[in-house]
């Protein structure tokens, strides 16, 4: 593993398995710290394929201060599909994290993304969010999107509403997502990116002065980034 300081901390791992274990351990430590300091931990997690191994590793984390019954998990975003659909972020987190915990389990808050009135569903979810999440775990798309904040999306300009419906250029087309104020208010922000197809987005996202309307993942520029070697391959060129 090598570590490179850019804005937050950028961790680059040669072995994917080491990345997974390191990130899971850091998330678990953040949960423990929040429970010790505030009596509970409230986090927002992302869906998709990349974090699934991390969630399975996180489910195996144990310790005297990691009381899962004191943890609330929110979704960073959700696809507008039935809850049992393979594309459901709720389903992915439930199967890979919640169901793998041996003992008391956290509360996983579902977005009613199948509702006919998505604005009402978004407002309902926003009402359950704390003023400041302890941790937000985000991904980084090859197009620089994060959560369901895609380049050019009106949701990126949102300052009043914490959760809003959003459109996606890739299926499924309708989403519900947290907005920039939620990311900016979080006590900690982690970004996970793996694969060479993310390298350009990682480079741009970590470059100062980006327009977040075109590079939404730059909202998390000051967070801690967890990358494999392929996703980080352009960073060394930028330092030369």
Nearest to residue 198, comparing CAs of 157, 160, 152, 234? 234
* Terminal Cα distance for the chain, rounded: 20
- Domain spans of the chain, in order of start: 2-239
Please name the residue that has the structure tokens 């620089």.
Answer: 144
> Strand, coil or helix: what is 189?
strand
Q: How confident is the model at residue 239 (pLDDT cuts 50, 70, 90)?
A: low
Instruction: Verify cis geometry, omega within 30 degrees of 0, for the bond prior to 172.
Output: yes
Nearest to residue 216, comparing CAs of 120, 116, 138? 138
Q: Which CATH number fits domain 2-239: 3.40.50.1360, 3.30.365.10, 1.10.287.1080, 3.30.1540.10?
A: 3.40.50.1360
pLDDT tens digits, one per residue of 77-118? 999 999 999 999 999 999 999 999 999 999 999 999 999 999
Which residues, 6 or more positions from 177, have their beta carbon under 8 angstroms from its beta carbon?
Answer: 76, 77, 78, 147, 148, 149, 155, 163, 164, 166
Burial 103-125 (b: 16+ CB within 10 A, else e): eebbebebbbbbeeebeebbeeb
Query: How high is the pLDDT of residue 236?
Result: 77
pLDDT tens digits, one per residue of 160-213? 999 999 999 999 999 999 999 999 999 999 999 999 999 999 999 999 999 999
């Amino acid at each position: 593993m090598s570590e490179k300081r850019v804005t937050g901390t950028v961790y680059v791992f040669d072995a994917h398995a080491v990345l997974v274990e390191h990130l899971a351990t850091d998330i678990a430590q953040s949960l423990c710290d929040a429970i010790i300091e505030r009596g509970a931990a409230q986090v927002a997690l992302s869906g998709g394929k990349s974090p699934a191994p991390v969630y399975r590793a996180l489910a195996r984390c144990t310790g005297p201060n990691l009381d899962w019954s004191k943890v609330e998990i929110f979704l960073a975003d959700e696809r507008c599909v039935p809850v049992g659909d393979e594309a459901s972020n709720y389903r992915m987190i439930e199967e890979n994290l919640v169901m793998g915990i041996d003992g008391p389990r956290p509360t996983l808050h579902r977005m009613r993304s199948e509702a006919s009135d998505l604005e009402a569903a978004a407002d309902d979810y926003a009402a359950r969010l704390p003023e400041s999440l302890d941790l937000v775990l985000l991904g980084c798309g090859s197009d620089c999107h994060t959560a369901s904040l895609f380049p050019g999306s009106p949701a990126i300009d949102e300052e009043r509403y914490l959760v809003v419906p959003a459109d996606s250029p890739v299926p499924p087309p309708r989403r519900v997502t947290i907005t920039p104020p939620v990311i900016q208010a979080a006590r900690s922000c982690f970004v996970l990116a793996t694969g060479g197809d993310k390298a350009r987005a990682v480079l741009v996202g970590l470059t100062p002065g980006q327009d977040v309307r075109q590079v939404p993942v730059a909202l998390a520029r000051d967070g801690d980034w967890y990358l494999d070697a392929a996703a980080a391959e352009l960073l060394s060129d930028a330092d030369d």
